Amino acid sequence: MASSLLSKQLVLSLQQNLRLTAPGCRYVSKAAAKTQMEFEYDGPSMKTEVPGPRSKELTKQLGEIQNVGAVHFFCNYEESRGNYLVDVDGNRMLDVYTQISSIPIGYNHPSLIKVMSNPNNMSAFVNRPALGIMPPENFPEKLAESLLSVAPSGMSRVQTMACGSCSNENAYKAMFIWYRNKERGHNIPSDEDMSSCMINQSPGCPDLSILSFMGGFHGRTMGCLATTHSKAIHKLDVPSFDWPIAPFPKLKYPLEEFTRENAQEEARCLEEVEDLIVQWRQKGRPVAGIVIEPIQAEGGDNHATPDFFKKLRNIARKHGSAFHVDEVQTGGGTTGKFWAHEHWGMDDPADIVSFSKKMLTGGFYHKDELQADKAYRIFNTWMGDPSKNLFLAEVLNVIRRENLLEEVTRSGKTLLQGLYQLQDQYPNLLSSARGQGTFCAIDIRDDATRNSIILKARDKGKTHYSHTHTHTHTGGLIGIHPCTNTQLTDMDGQVDREKHLCTHSYTHSYTHSYTHSYTHSYTHSHTHSHTHSHTHSHTHSHTHSYTHSHTHSHTHSHTHSHTHSYTHSHTHSHTHSHTHSYTHTYTQSTLVIFCVTSHLLCVSPRCSAGWLWRSVHPVPPCSGV
């Protein structure tokens, strides 16, 4: 019951607050209102349950070909626009998931359509070269326009890849190669090195390690999986490396109110890091590198302070280990800066920074000394896709032209303030609101409540992703990761919509759910009959009417608060009479948190202007995205 009410309020908030420029689906912020748009959606529009009949039919067909356990529903990408995703059953949903937080500026953005339709770019889309051996003529130029134009501090080299996992996997290899050359004092392997590596033995295959953190997620390939510690199902039955795993700080939020306690917790974790490095060296498996996320995303939106990362960086230097910052989730503007590690305020933040998702391509930046010393050591067939660099260059133009990083910062403050208000209002349901930019999160008291909220929110026209973090949180959380073109008014509305869901927490079991999408036009009328009948109708902008009649006999008092508040009571007759009361608070604003750069119940922004909901254990696809 309480989760049903919370769902309604969350949906209302998400709908209103992340709407770009106006109540409708816009691609840009108000500051960039001149951007050409094909058309706008004015809000969600739900025609069937989700998944609908067509999605179920297609899921059955696909199930005869491959595993469909993770499929939520099938989509109509041609009809999707901005922050709104349309499924094959015609349901239009506010997307707070943004394709696992990988869409930077929304669906079918006009600027990206222009890139695709430009005849000068045709060759890049038709021909996919093996970049490692035969790159196109304009490849250096396009890298300079795209990836190198946003290179992290102190890094002038970038190695392109395809996805987050292969980016991290090859970054690990680069750290191992660098470390071994440093041990040798040169980069010339011995005959024994060359022969022993062919049978997976040392010294050619040295027993080196990478230190990672509990709760981290770095990918699902073999090396990356050894450093991933967020969900057991990812690792089950797969052999792995015996590498050190340090605790990630379990901080109290808001961080500024618990500085002493959090400093002690971070000191404890840093001490454990040093102890592990020493222990593994004594075991003959020295730590060649340390890998960490600026914010643990899949692990539960776990934060640490800049002081923690600065000291961790110094520990890596002290022990001769490379320092790898994984920005696959956090890069691209979602935290209000293009790279989350920029919040640390360091001139030399890392030796390697990996990326993917909102960057539209994968890869890693690195210092000169981590450049592979020989050909084919960091290599695969495609080494990325040059067509993605064309899209990325235009995405970066949009971000700069429309000052979207400033927009994310302002919107994020509004969003986080709204989450604080919600947890103050519903302390038994919500806690630990936190965030950076629109990369925000809030915990829900338990998995069941979270899952119920997610299901109800989706039926109101909002897509999201849910998982449960098992080692840090006892309850569930939802993450909202919007796109980079998130706008301030969208955040305001989102918070209001969350309130609408929460205020339906009655003290008795009264379930009242709406299947329409809450937009910006709302009419509320009551007709009462003193002859024991009660008609209750709602009229919405989608020409949706709802009639609710009570013929029970009981004493029934309630308070309705709309634009104004009033109290009235009426009595009905029944076989027995009883009295109950409840409060309805209808708020017309809707908060849309997943627009093009951000992420909420862990509410977290992963995209820059679209939103993602996630919690830490997967909810069955047919019962929750």
- Which residues have CB under 8 Å from 84's CB, separation 6+? 25, 41, 44, 92, 93, 94, 95, 107
Q: Per-10-residue mean pLDDT for the chain, 625 residues long? A: 57 52 41 50 92 98 98 96 95 88 93 96 96 97 98 96 97 98 96 98 98 98 98 97 98 97 99 99 98 97 98 98 98 96 97 98 98 96 97 98 95 93 94 94 92 84 53 55 58 50 33 30 38 41 40 42 40 40 31 32 34 32 33
CA distances from 335 to 436, 461, 483, 545 (A): 5, 26, 11, 41
Radius of gyration of the chain (CA): 26
- Which residues have CB under 8 Å from 414's CB, separation 6+? 17, 488, 491, 492, 495
Summarised one tens digit per residue, pLDDT across range 205-260 is 999 999 999 999 999 999 999 999 999 999 999 999 999 999 999 999 999 999 99
Reduced to 3 states (helix: H, G, I; strand: E, B; else coil), residue 339 is: coil
Question: CA torsion sign, 293 to 299 to 301 to 306?
Answer: negative
Asked if 13 and 490 count as a contact pair (C-beta separation under 8 A), the reply is no
- Which residues have CB under 8 Å from 97's CB, separation 6+? 85, 463, 464, 465, 481, 594, 610, 611, 612, 613, 614, 625
Q: How far apart are CA 225 and CA 257, in angstroms?
A: 35
pLDDT at 96: 76
Structure tokens at 401: 């032209």
Q: How far apart are CA 210 and CA 171, in angstroms?
A: 11
Reduced to 3 states (helix: H, G, I; strand: E, B; else coil), residue 182 is: helix
**Active-site positions?**
217, 326, 357, 381
User: What is the residue whose two structure tokens read 């509305």?
Assistant: 493
Reduced to 3 states (helix: H, G, I; strand: E, B; else coil), residue 55 is: helix
Q: What b/e readout covers 571-603, taking b as 16+ CB neighbours within 10 angstroms?
A: ebeeeeeeeeebebebbbbbbbbbbbbbbbbbb
Structure tokens at 277: 């490095």
CA distances from 348 to 150, 312, 325, 366 (A): 15, 13, 12, 11
DSSP code of residue 73: -
Structure tokens at 233: 């199902």
Question: Smallest Cα–Cα separation from 610: which of 4, 132, 10, 25?
Answer: 25
Length of the chain: 625
DSSP code of residue 290: E
Q: For the residues of 528-557, what is the DSSP string, one character each?
A: EETTTEEEEEEEETT--EEEEEE---SEEE
Q: Give the sheet arrangement for strand 579-585, strand by strand.
A: 565-571, 555-561, 579-585
Asked if 291 and 326 count as a contact pair (C-beta separation under 8 A), the reply is yes
In the chain, helix, strand, coil percent, each to 5? 35, 20, 45
CA distances from 72 to 200, 510, 518, 594, 618 (A): 41, 29, 22, 18, 11
How many other CB atoms are there within 10 angstroms of residue 65's CB atom?
A: 7
Structure tokens at 299: 């692990």
pLDDT at 500: 47
Summarised one tens digit per residue, pLDDT across range 520-567 is 333 333 434 443 444 444 434 443 434 444 444 444 444 444 434 333
CA atoms within 13 A on the CB side of 20: 40
How many other CB atoms are there within 10 angstroms of residue 513's CB atom?
A: 12
Asked if 161 and 379 count as a contact pair (C-beta separation under 8 A), the reply is no
CA angle, 575 as apex, 571 and 579 as ends, to 5°? 40
pTM for this predicted structure: 0.77
Q: How far apart are CA 496 and CA 308, in angstroms?
A: 35
pLDDT at 7: 59
Q: How far apart are CA 394 and CA 27, in angstroms?
A: 14
Structure tokens at 201: 């033995």
Please state the separation of Cα 494 from the chain's center in Å. Answer: 16
Question: CA torsion sign, 262 to 265 to 271 to 274?
Answer: negative
Summarised one tens digit per residue, pLDDT across range 372-391 is 999 999 999 999 999 999 99
- Which residues have CB under 8 Å from 320's CB, separation 6+? 179, 182
Asked if 616 and 302 count as a contact pair (C-beta separation under 8 A), the reply is no
Q: How far apart are CA 593 and CA 12, in angstroms?
A: 11
> What value does the mean pLDDT of the chain take?
78
ω before 622 within 30° of 0 (cis)? Answer: no
